[in-house]
Amino acid sequence: MQATAKGEEVGLLEQYEQVRAYTETLCEPLEIEDYIPQPSVDVSPTKWNIAHTTWFFEEMILKKYVPDHPEFDPQFGFLFNSYYNSLGKRTARDRRGDLSRPTVKHVFEYRHHVDARMRELLSAPLAAEIEELIILGINHEQQHQELLVTDLKFTFSQNPIHPVYRNDFHPEETPDGAEGGWIKVPAGVYEIGYAGDGFHFDNELARHQVLLNELEISDRLVANADWIEFIEAGCYRDPLLWHSEGWDWVQREQITGPLYWMSDKNGYKHYTLAGLRELPPDAPVCHVSWYEAAAFAEWKGMRLPTEFEWESASPNLAWGSRWEWTSSAYLPYPGFRKPEGAVGEYNGKFMVNQMVLRGASVATPAGHSRPTYRNFFHPHLRWQFTGLRLAR
């Protein structure tokens, strides 16, 4: 059984169907032309996202555990594998948007074919190993639901006419409601990592102790108004605030503000999936890189919290509207072990050259967040709903 965002208990079949249906709900405002473009290697076309999540269920579960499963199309294993090297060759990551075929219609037929077979499988008793993989696949799809939204926003943002996905879709404009005070975290030994019987990713294990010095952490996220001050103080032109790689990135990419921000004599605007809108000063800043977050903290004479400080303080924080950058490199916890087989490629092999984010964002599906969740990205990336809070 699995608890929903409302605390209701639902069976695995119902959970599967709810999550699969929500992906298609996200697609409802789209036109056929919206499914294919890929303007950056870091974003995937909507068509690829909805096919890849289906591929996971067919490749990892149906083909492995259902002997008579009729594979939908033998070419789809190559087309929609993401980074599972142990499962064979795959489409180049930066070429996913070049593929006009298979068509969007054919990809939806693929989804419905796999869904029918999964319903049959889920209607009978399951071995624990299969059930665990299905739960992983459901959570994997929820990750791609967030990616579908953020990838689509980046793709739409490249269009000079500022397309509207949905007129009411601007969740990033809500203030976080915190008072702007500081929360003290006493010095001591804290337990870090997942504990319990619910779902968790392997990188949240193994639970271990850390020693923290006393600190204070802001009860609110850095806001757009704070970031305007940062810009207008000339901080994007001051090399003393930036890490060396961050300064190189600012110069090379000619960065002058957060992704999707625009300014003119009338002030600041930002692109949202509801189109181009006035920038709300009280909303938390988003779409900033780790380099920018670290430079802002330096300007303030403060710092980003470590992921361990963040997790220890999380019961007293109003978190969930932005993925929050931390100062922690993405590394394995003591005692971490990668699972056997292809599932072992899910998290462990990325534990180098990336930074940890904690919390969730306004694009994270309901029920897909917890204080121990470890998100991770390279420090220059900012197409997710990323923000920050300060520590001192």
Q: Give the residue extent of every domain in the chain.
A: 2-157, 171-387
Write the DSSP string, 288-356: --HHHHHHHHHHTT-BPPPHHHHHHHGGGS---SSEEEEEEE--PPTT--PPSSGGGGSSGGG-SS-EE
Q: Which two tokens stand for residue 127?
A: 């071995």
Give 191: exposed, middle or buried? Use CB within 10 Å, 0-12, 13-18, 19+: exposed
Please give the average per-residue pLDDT across 130-138, as a whole number: 97
The whole-angstrom separation of Cα 52 and Cα 84 is 12
Please give the average per-residue pLDDT across 144-162, as a whole number: 98
pLDDT at res. 1: 44
Residue 332 has pLDDT above 80, yes or no: yes
pLDDT at res. 340: 77
In the CATH hierarchy, which top-level class contains the domain 171-387? Answer: alpha beta
Residue 322 has pLDDT above 70, yes or no: yes
pLDDT at res. 341: 74
The string of pLDDT tens digits covering residues 190-201 is 999 999 999 999
pLDDT at res. 15: 97
Please give the average per-residue pLDDT across 245-250, as a whole number: 98
Residue 377 has pLDDT above 90, yes or no: yes
The whole-angstrom separation of Cα 38 and Cα 98 is 8
Interhelix angle 12-27/46-57, nearest 10 degrees: 160
Q: Which two tokens stand for residue 353?
A: 């050259």
Residue 35 has pLDDT above 90, yes or no: yes
The whole-angstrom separation of Cα 199 and Cα 8 is 16
The string of pLDDT tens digits covering residues 277-316 is 999 999 999 999 999 999 999 999 999 999 999 999 999 9
The whole-angstrom separation of Cα 379 and Cα 181 is 28
Residue 350 has pLDDT above 90, yes or no: no
pLDDT at res. 351: 85
Write the DSSP string, 65-86: H-TT---S-TTHHHHH--S-GG
Residue 3 has pLDDT above 80, yes or no: no
Kindly give, in sequence order, each residue whose CB lies less than 8 Å from that of residue 368, ignoring residues fewer than 6 positions away: 139, 142, 143, 146, 360
pLDDT at res. 222: 98
Please give the average per-residue pLDDT across 174-186, as a whole number: 93
Long-range Cβ pairs for the range 299-302 (8 Å, 24+): 299/230, 299/233, 299/235, 299/241, 300/390, 302/390, 302/391, 302/392
Model confidence band, residue 349 (pLDDT cutoffs 50, 70, 90):
confident
Please give the average per-residue pLDDT across 88-104, as a whole number: 94
Model confidence band, residue 86 (pLDDT cutoffs 50, 70, 90):
confident
Please give the average per-residue pLDDT across 33-51, as a whole number: 97
Strand partners, 190: 210
- Number of other CB atoms surrounding residue 136 within 10 Å: 19
- Helix, strand or coil, per DSSP, at residue 46: helix
Q: What is the mean pLDDT of the chain?
A: 94
Please give the average per-residue pLDDT across 236-240, as a whole number: 98
Give 252: exposed, middle or buried? Use CB within 10 Å, 0-12, 13-18, 19+: exposed
pLDDT at res. 290: 98
pLDDT at res. 9: 64
The string of pLDDT tens digits covering residues 198-218 is 999 999 998 999 999 999 999
- The CATH number of 2-157 is 1.20.120
Model confidence band, residue 8 (pLDDT cutoffs 50, 70, 90):
low
Strand partners, 267: 264
Task: Give the strand pairing for 182-185 and 188-192.
Answer: unpaired
pLDDT at res. 36: 97
